[in-house]
Amino acid sequence: MLQTEKQYVQWQENETLRNALWLSESNHMPPARIVLVDDTTTADDAYRLACEGTSLLWRGDFHNARQLLQALGRRIDRTNERSELRKIKKAANKSAKSKTESDSVNSKEIPNLFHQQRQLQAQRSRILSRLLLELDASYVSQLRRAPDVSAACTEAFGAIDEPCVLSFRDMQGALGAAGWREKGVPIDRLGLSIFPHYGVFAPTRHEYVQLLLDAPLPAIHDVAYDIGTGTGLLAIILAQRGVPQVIATDLNPRSLACASENFTRLEFTNVQLQQADLYPTDAPLANLIVCNPPWVPAKPSSSLEYAVYDAKSTMLRGVLQGAKQHLAEQGELWLIMSDLAEHLQLRTRDELLRLFADAGLAVKYRLDTQPKHGRSQDDTDPLHVARSAEITSLWCLTLI
């Protein structure tokens, strides 16, 4: 999320020291070195400067800045293709005479490949984030052919009354989020759309929706919790299925605002929102708790990645350990989990089952589905072996 305390960035322009409010969605520190670049700057020069740690403040045509960003991305990709990753990717995807041999090669390489990919992705993000844009108060751009970004940036970053500098990528993210917020993400199985906000993970993968529709509700289901509600999708499913009282929690104010807007759009009056770290306070015991925690036990590097990566399985452990204090006697915890972490060798199935047992929970049943998203079908992805084997499950857990 954006920093709460104001920070400012400085640069020299026309023999004058300039400064502006610094905005960074990833909480990056204000850049120490800034040079001015424009339409005459070559992509090779820009790439060299960015790799050296110099930030580039754009002073040319707006659309040319977008083209420069794409050119930087291509140069990063070409460099990565020449790196050690290329060797590992070939080893992971090469054909073997027997499936057993192929699986053995892939199994050995996958953990290293996952961590190298994440490092390269983080490096790519840092380099691309060095192309900067200056906006006047109320997010007005003075660049030639610049679109009106005021509404999108205000929704994403809040109102400001002074000039600011931010990465071109953060501005693009704000525009993209404004598009999602306007058109929504259709959830075909529910016959409705969800409208994500900036900084809230969009439910573009929703194969688990059918699992939540297929799972039989507990005999008594008058109170349910949705832990870490995000856009509010799981709470909406429970409300649609007739749960009289749904309490949805999240710690992120952006998620709470997003979920609230979705509940209002759909006119659900039986859903309550509460800002909480996991479980609600001053709430009745739940007959049903649902949670779709981050699936991969690794450290997130941006606000959006908190929906995917859960360092040391902290959220998962918290949800499991808290269930005993918040479930009614015959209540159920529905945990939506992918086994991708197991295929990446970041967590074993035995370790997951031990987490359940240590929390005093037993498996009542499990529903499975195979993801159909594009990355699971892409055999050029170096992690295709893991992704193609992925299964998403609804674990129904009860108190021992």
Write down the pLDDT at residue 101. 43
Would you call 152 helix, strand, or coil by DSSP? helix
203 DSSP assignment: -
Dihedral-angle region of residue 35 (phi above 0 means left; psi in -120 to 50 means alpha; beta otherwise)? beta
The highest-level CATH class for domain 185-399 is alpha beta
Write down the pLDDT at residue 41. 97
Provide the token pair at 206.
């929703």
Domain boundaries, the chain: 8-82+122-180, 185-399
Residue among 17, 42, 171 nearest 34 (CA): 17
Would you call 100 helix, strand, or coil by DSSP? helix
Q: Are 292 and 228 in contact (CB under 8 A)?
A: yes
Report the Cα 384 to chain-centroid distance in Å.
20
CA distances from 30 to 198, 339, 360 (A): 22, 39, 47
With vertex at residue 261, the alpha carbon angle to CA 257 and CA 265, rounded to the nearest 5 degrees, is: 175
Cα–Cα distance, 222 to 178 (Å, whole number): 36
Write down the pLDDT at residue 206. 85
**Dihedral over alpha carbons 118, 120, 122, 124 (to 10 degrees):** -150
With vertex at residue 109, the alpha carbon angle to CA 105 and CA 112, rounded to the nearest 5 degrees, is: 175
Write down the pLDDT at residue 28. 83
Residuewise pLDDT in 10s, the chain (400 residues): 455 688 999 999 999 999 999 999 877 889 999 999 999 999 999 999 999 999 999 999 999 999 999 999 999 988 877 765 555 555 555 533 334 444 444 566 777 788 888 888 889 999 999 999 999 999 999 999 999 999 999 999 999 999 999 999 999 999 999 999 999 999 999 999 999 999 898 898 888 999 999 999 999 999 999 999 999 999 999 999 999 999 999 999 999 999 999 999 999 989 999 999 999 999 999 999 999 999 898 888 777 788 889 989 999 999 999 999 999 999 999 999 999 999 889 999 999 999 999 999 999 999 999 887 766 677 777 677 778 889 999 999 999 9
Residue among 272, 271, 390, 397 nearest 331 (CA): 397
Percent of the chain as helix, strand, coil, to the nearest 5: 40, 25, 35
Write down the pLDDT at residue 281. 95
Write down the pLDDT at residue 83. 66
